Amino acid sequence: MPKLCSDSSGGCAVCPSRLTTEWQALNDEQVVLLDQSKRRRFYSPGETLYMQGDEGDGLFCLQSGLIGLRQIDENGKSVLLRLCQSGSTIGYRAYLTNSDHFNTAEVLSPSVACFIERTTVRKLLENNPLLGEKFLEHALEDLSMVEGEYARSLTMTMRSRFLHVLAVFYEQLGQRDEKGSPTLVLPIKKKELADLIGAKPESVSRLIRRIEDDGLLKVDDRHIHFHDMDAVLRDAGVAI
């Protein structure tokens, strides 16, 4: 049963996510329309925003939390294509191409997302050419990113790709501990980490142990303590 959040947020007009998404292109009047027709909801881990194969009848705006886009092929092989954090528009491709969703949007951390339905999006797109441009920008950005990951997947080892993921997480979520050394709390399970780089959980376990043995970092459950960030970045194939 869909539970609507009590909206203590003040709505789209003051939603910080709006300013990082396509919806920054809207004028005041359009923001009111968006605000009235959106459906805001809380999602728990394990739920989905939509499933692969569902009709793309609108799109989602992620206000907080973490969503994973998972693709499953005919043989049941499953991949996490990428993660979406607060301020992402999700499911826009299926909507814009008028087709079914190509992947499943899984809720990985407790999340708050707004659903904006087909007719609203259409109205806004018709009255605001800037909005279309923003979607184009978004698509091009996603394209660059995926192409980059694709090239990495073809040329780099699992170890490199694993360290690359950690480096990206560190950029977004990294902290310094009391001693001033870089630290990270993983936002996802190790199994999901494995799905993200196309590995098996066993391989990730072994990978971590070897990287620990090499002295680059120490993993304690979901806590990662980096000992040699330069080596991490070098092995991740990132120019330092």
* Candidate residues 122, 150, 191, 212; the one interacting with a second copy per rule CB under 8 A: 150
Q: What's the CA gap between 19 and 125, in Å, rounded? A: 17
Alpha-carbon gap, residue 35 to 204, rounded angstroms: 43
Tokens of 86: 């607060």
Q: Which is nearer to DNA, 101 or 161 (CB)?
A: 161
**231 three-class SS:** helix
Q: Binds 71, which of a second copy, DNA, none (CB < 5 to 8 A, cut-off by type)? A: a second copy
CB of 98 to DNA, least distance (A): 34
Query: Is 52 among the residues that bind DNA (CB under 7 A)?
Result: no
> In this complex, which beta carbon is closest to a second copy, that of residue 74 or of residue 220?
74
Nearest-10 Cα torsion for 8, 135, 146, 51: 60
Quick check: 187 binds DNA (CB under 7 A)?
A: no
Q: Is the Cβ–Cβ distance between 79 and 191 less than 8 Å?
A: no
CB atoms within 10 A of CB 33: 15
Q: In whole angstroms, how close is the CB of 206 to DNA at the nearest point?
A: 6
Q: Which is nearer to a second copy, 27 or 97 (CB)?
A: 97
Cβ proximity to DNA: between 67 and 199 the closer is 199
Residues in region 192-221 near DNA by CB under 7 A: 198-209, 219, 221
β-bridge partners, 111: 43
Give which of DNA, a second copy, none residue 36 binds (C-beta under 5 to 8 Å, depending on kind).
Answer: none
Residue 201 interacts, among DNA, a second copy, none and using kind-specific CB cut-offs from 5 to 8 Å, with DNA
Q: 88 near 48, Cβ under 8 Å?
A: no
223 binds DNA (CB under 7 A): no
Cα radius of gyration rounded to whole Å, the chain: 19
* Nearest partner of 66 among 159, 181, 188, judged by Cα: 188
13 makes contact with a second copy (CB under 8 A): no
Chain residues that interact with DNA, rule: CB under 7 A: 157-159, 189-191, 198-209, 219, 221
